[in-house]
Chains A and B, each alone.
Chain A
């Protein structure tokens, strides 16, 4: 038997299946959130099931998390996004006490204790400027693929100052910088620094306790990870698959609940 955690974010639905009884990851699944969220959840879950060669009735407990967790009507229980983050990150890195999660439409951070239990959190979901949506808009303005942003910024030689905070205003500022002859590499570095700065000031309100882990979609961007390290002036832990940390945390909680 097995258990599952399903994390429905703004951009992707993610599923993780764990072997019941002992915390061992059996499989993962991911699907983009299109028009129909339930369809995305089904696709991610099915992918994980087939990878684990399990049928649906072999999953004895499901915990849902994420901004749209209501899209998992078959879940037995749910957990907050920050609770799932703390649990998942702590499983991967037991020394973690602060988890920063920057997704497509949200930046948040959670502090946890030595057992991985969340003790406090902060969240920004009102402004796109600190989230992945900002970088996506800038990639469009710069005509650069999103996945090229990280490597390009690592080749930059400086970070030109940016005035605009708002995504909408930054779009025009980026165009102005290009007209002024600034290189795309440098502009991208400045953009990464800007998102890092906004998130770091949010995390400072929470208080930073080491070790710090960075998860969520933006943790896949090496240039952004570098900006966070420079901004925080410390090393940070980044999992191999940062998108699945929330789903993993939910699955760990499912394992615990199913055991009673």
Chain B
């Protein structure tokens, strides 16, 4: 019997409508559409409050993905794209959002979104996305004051983690928890490059290391890499993490240990992957009101 290869990298796509919220009688309905290289996210905001959102994998076309994820976010709400007063596109595919009135960089949107989610005390935002990693400094209004980005190399990105989940046959959501099922914290994997780290990991498995210990060594290496980036831009409290990797406690705990302090905890009502699209929807509201 042929057996299908399980896709260990695959993370769940989902949508949510915030309970107890209604758009009827609202002044302004805005959308933030964040088309990343790996995932696409849409946040729908009603009078500046989160109403619904959706997260899915980006397909081969940015425009198609933008439309699909936005329609999904609106599913069951009675709203259609035409009912949205103003849409801002952001992320890697931000200029290819056909129904957006404006495109704003994801750096600005993540800072703005983090300010909304965690409040005005946030000064440093680490966004660990699918194909890049950004360290952003911002002021009490969520305005960017400085940033650094790695978008050249898969080390420290979600894509790198997907590759590892597949290599080690560990569902991507279990990577974090399982990386702590070890007797002793190993040295981080020494290769920065994901391709070479894969070879190194296979060598460690052959040498008899349990999968969990290899996961610990890899998530530690990823944390090390990201801390380098953070230290170059400077980390000031409060510190928050957005993007898909912020859900991986294996990376987050090891990163906090190296930094010497903790990130603010995730807010259960906001998925950290939608920080950029929330920021975009907030910019959309401001732009819409300015135009009125």
List A residues at the B interface (Cβ < 8 Å). Answer: 35, 105, 126-129, 133-134, 137, 165-169, 172, 176, 179
Contact = CB atoms under 8 A, between A and B. Distances in A.
B278 to A, nearest CB: 26
A169 B131 CA distance: 7
Interface of B: 37, 60, 131, 152-154, 159-160, 163, 191-196, 199, 206
A168 B130 CA distance: 11
A interface: dominant SS: helix
Contact of B193 (A35, A126, A179): A126
A104 B131 CA distance: 25
A32 to B, nearest CB: 14
Contacts of B206: 35
B152 A165 contact: yes
A170 B195 CA distance: 12
A21 B199 CA distance: 41
A129 B131 CA distance: 16
Which 6 A-B residue pairs are closest in the complex by CB-CB distance? A128-B195, A168-B154, A166-B154, A167-B195, A166-B153, A127-B193
30 contacts: A35-B206, A105-B196, A105-B199, A126-B192, A126-B193, A126-B196, A127-B192, A128-B193, A128-B195, A128-B196, A129-B193, A133-B195, A133-B196, A134-B195, A137-B195, A165-B152, A165-B153, A166-B152, A166-B154, A166-B194, A167-B154, A167-B194, A168-B154, A168-B159, A168-B160, A168-B194, A168-B195, A169-B131, A172-B37, A179-B60
Nearest to B203: A35
Nearest to A125: B196
Nearest to B195: A128
B125 to A, nearest CB: 23
Nearest to A179: B60
Given A105-B199, A128-B196, A166-B152, 13 more contacts: A105-B196, A127-B153, A128-B193, A128-B194, A129-B193, A166-B154, A167-B154, A167-B194, A168-B160, A168-B195, A169-B131, A172-B37, A172-B159
A35 to B, nearest CB: 6
A166 B163 CA distance: 13
Nearest to B163: A168
Contacts of B195: 128, 133-134, 137, 167-168
Nearest to A105: B196
B60 to A, nearest CB: 5
Contacts of B159: 168-169, 172
A86 B80 CA distance: 68
A6 B194 CA distance: 29
A247 to B, nearest CB: 22
A166 B60 CA distance: 19
